[in-house]
Amino acid sequence: MADLLTSTAPRDEGLDGTPGGGGRRRLGAPLARLVLTRVLASVAVLWGAVTATFFLLELMHGNTVDVLLAQSQAGPEVRAEIISRYHLDDPLPVRYFAYLGRVLRGDFGESYMLRKPVWQAITEQLPDTLVLVATTVLTTVVASVLFAALSATRRRSLRSVVAAVESLVVAVPPFWLGLVLLTVFSFWLHWFPAIGSSAPAGLVLPTIALAAGPVAVTTRVLREGMVRALDEPFVMTARTRGISEPAVRLRHTLRHALLPATALLGWISGSLIGGAIIIETVFSRRGMGRLVLSAVQNRDMPVVIGIVLVAATTFVIITVLVDILTWFIDPRTRT
DSSP string, 108-126: --B-TTT-SBHHHHHHHHH
User: CB–CB of 185/192 below 8 Å?
Assistant: yes
- Give the type of residue at 251: R
What is the rounded distance in angstroms from the CA atom of residue 210 to the CA atom of residue 203? 11
Give the closest residue to 209 by CA, choosing from 285, 153, 263: 285
Which stretch in 43-51, 111-119, 261-269, 315-323 sits in contact with another protein by CB under 8 A?
A: 111-119
CB of 295 to another protein, least distance (A): 11
CB of 144 to another protein, least distance (A): 28
CB of 283 to another protein, least distance (A): 7
What is the rounded distance in angstroms from the CA atom of residue 128 to the CA atom of residue 115? 21
Cβ distance to another protein smaller for residue 18 or 120 = 120
* Of the candidate residues 299, 307, 308, 318, the single one contacting another protein (CB under 8 A): 299
CB of 140 to another protein, least distance (A): 24
CB of 133 to another protein, least distance (A): 17
Q: Give residues 246-265 in contact with another protein (rule: CB under 8 A).
A: none
CB of 199 to another protein, least distance (A): 13
User: CB–CB of 264/217 below 8 Å?
Assistant: yes
Give the closest residue to 64 by CA, choosing from 98, 46, 90, 97: 90
* Of the candidate residues 4, 31, 88, 113, the single one contacting another protein (CB under 8 A): 113
User: CB–CB of 318/266 below 8 Å?
Assistant: yes
CB of 110 to another protein, least distance (A): 8
187 binds another protein (CB under 8 A): yes
321: number of Cβ within 10 Å: 15
Rounded to 10 degrees, the C-alpha dihedral 8/14/16/17 comes to 180
Cβ distance to another protein smaller for residue 66 or 231 = 66
Point out which residues pair with 117 in neighbouring strands: 110
Q: Give residues 4-63 in contact with another protein (rule: CB under 8 A).
A: 60-63
* Of the candidate residues 146, 286, 325, 329, the single one contacting another protein (CB under 8 A): 286
| Cα angle, residue 274 at apex, residues 273 and 276 outer, rounded to 5° | 65
**Would you say how long the chain is, in residues?**
335
75 binds another protein (CB under 8 A): yes
Cβ distance to another protein smaller for residue 1 or 199 = 199
* Of the candidate residues 42, 284, 313, 333, the single one contacting another protein (CB under 8 A): 284
156: number of Cβ within 10 Å: 9
Which stretch in 33-41, 187-195, 216-224, 265-273 sits in contact with another protein by CB under 8 A?
A: 187-195
Residues that bind another protein (CB under 8 A): 60-63, 65-67, 69-76, 78-79, 81-82, 85, 110, 113-117, 120-121, 124-125, 179, 182-183, 186-188, 190, 193-196, 281-287, 290-291, 294, 297-299
